[in-house]
A and B are shown apart, each in its own frame.
Chain A
Amino acid sequence: MSDLTPRRGSVLSARPGTTAPPQPANLADLLERVLDKGIVIAGDIRINLLDIELLTIKIRLLIASVDRAREMGIDWWEHDPSLSSGQRDLAAENRRLRERLGELEADRTATRAEIDAGTDAAPATGFDPGTDADEAQEVDDAAETDDAPEADHTDTAEEAGRAPRRARRTAERPSAARSPRTSTTRRRGTQS
């Protein structure tokens, strides 16, 4: 295993002015940029996406081999100081991921794709711009008829509220330590 090479490569290729072929983008970085949070409400078809962390984990679970992972631009075991042998730890890591996936899936609304009501029948002018709250309500209503057993109306509405903004565009924000996400990190960080 060529230690650290993939990581350095991706950083080097990021140097401005070089024409090195782009490295495959790190999956977690890619998903958070490409996928909207919650519900995609652009376009004619409305989709309720899974939580991005959950999606990332699901995809990472597919990684059957180190080669496959490297091909996808995932090389975490190579720069994790606590992991010395990538192959061996993949199994343990996968087990951990499955546990985490189970937790997340129990917690959160499952993926749903909802075609906007009447999309196929209604003329283009039939789409109501709606406010965020309306969108949430519509989806909420849609969830009533959704036979997905894991439909959770509260989560759906909450995700709809978050949907329009994917990243906070601020120069400053309150200490990251106060966000729920970070407190999760903190717990995990101090366990090890």
Chain B
Amino acid sequence: MTGDSYTWLYAVAPSGTDLAVLRGMSGVAGEHPRLITAADLAAVVGSVPSSDFDAPALHDHLQDPHWLEHAVRAHHQVIDALARGSRTLPLRFATLYRDDQRVSALLDEHHREFRTALDRVAGRTEWGVKAYLDSARLHDDNQGADGRDGTASTGRPGTAYLLRRRAARDRNAQALDDAVERARQVHHELTAVAEDSAEHPLQTPEATGIRDPMVLNGAYLVDHPRAEEFAQVVAGLQDAHRQVLRIELTGPWPPYSFVDLPLATGGK
């Protein structure tokens, strides 16, 4: 039945997953998500028009930020709603199969891997913690320092200026090193409270819209009963590093960063 539609995969969950949480929600193509069940697993999928999701169409869509943003949020919304209700393995954006049979076959073939992955995220949630060097404080410090070591004694304003510039640059570099060092500590302490941790690449100021350099972009898989403790540890770290870092907690996230799925083979 390759023809009118492809099957877009959102998530894999235990069979019996209730799609009631998705009521009123539409997927990446405005479709209603549905279930494909095989043994004790269920894939949450949507039928998307193949004319709109074949290679050339996708190629165009991905160039279109409007389309991409909408679709990425739709994909996330479905997964997020599922993950709040029960164990859910989120699938990457644009995991597409030619038809439902291909998805059933996938569930059958990789049944054990899916069960293992589901057990790993059971009763756990992903939290994100990002830390930035707080350059507003850095600035204040620099202004104070400039006043002190102005090296006016040389009597040569140009040299003094350059020396000041160099000193400021060195202080900035030291401050960043210090912040990176502290970020390692933060990650370490959070990892101790979590079942698992992962690090995403540091986001650039252009991507975040925040000019301060990011020094930590961590993801932590935390047992539900320890979620409160985790939040408290974050609050404690915010306090402890307040002079240097600005630490942000995000979540709860579906366990995006902690799912290894056996799909990279292209199905078989």
Contact = CB atoms under 8 A, between A and B. Distances in A.
A106 interface: no
B133 interface: yes
B58 A80 contact: no
Interface in A79-104: 79-82, 93, 96-97, 100
Given A43-B267, A169-B197, A111 B213 contact: no
Contacts of B75: 34
B93 A28 contact: no
Contact of B199 (A56, A80, A168): A168
Contact of B257 (A7, A33, A58, A189): A33
A133 interface: no
Nearest to B69: A59
A157 interface: no
Contact of B96 (A44, A56, A77, A182): A44
A127 B267 contact: yes
A124 to B, nearest CB: 6
Interface in B207-263: 207-217, 219, 224, 227-228, 230-231, 248-253, 256-258, 261, 263
Contacts of B248: 7, 11
Contact of A112 (B59, B125, B177, B267): B59
A4 interface: no
Contacts of A185: 202, 204-205, 213-215
Interface string A45-59: 111011011011111
B210 to A, nearest CB: 5
B96 A177 contact: no
A22 B173 CA distance: 38
B143 interface: no
A70 interface: no
A90 B251 CA distance: 27
Interface residues of B, number: 96
B128 interface: yes
A137 interface: no
Given A35-B72, A45-B6, 14 more contacts: A33-B219, A34-B92, A34-B93, A44-B266, A44-B267, A55-B65, A56-B206, A58-B68, A74-B209, A124-B105, A127-B267, A167-B198, A169-B257, A190-B169
Interface of A: 7, 10-11, 14-17, 22, 24-36, 40-47, 49-50, 52-53, 55-62, 72, 74, 76-77, 79-82, 93, 96-97, 100, 110-116, 119-120, 124-125, 127-130, 163-164, 166-173, 175-177, 179, 181-182, 184-186, 188-190, 192
17 contacts: A16-B227, A30-B76, A32-B201, A42-B95, A43-B97, A44-B97, A45-B58, A55-B65, A57-B206, A59-B68, A113-B56, A113-B62, A124-B101, A127-B268, A167-B198, A169-B197, A179-B201
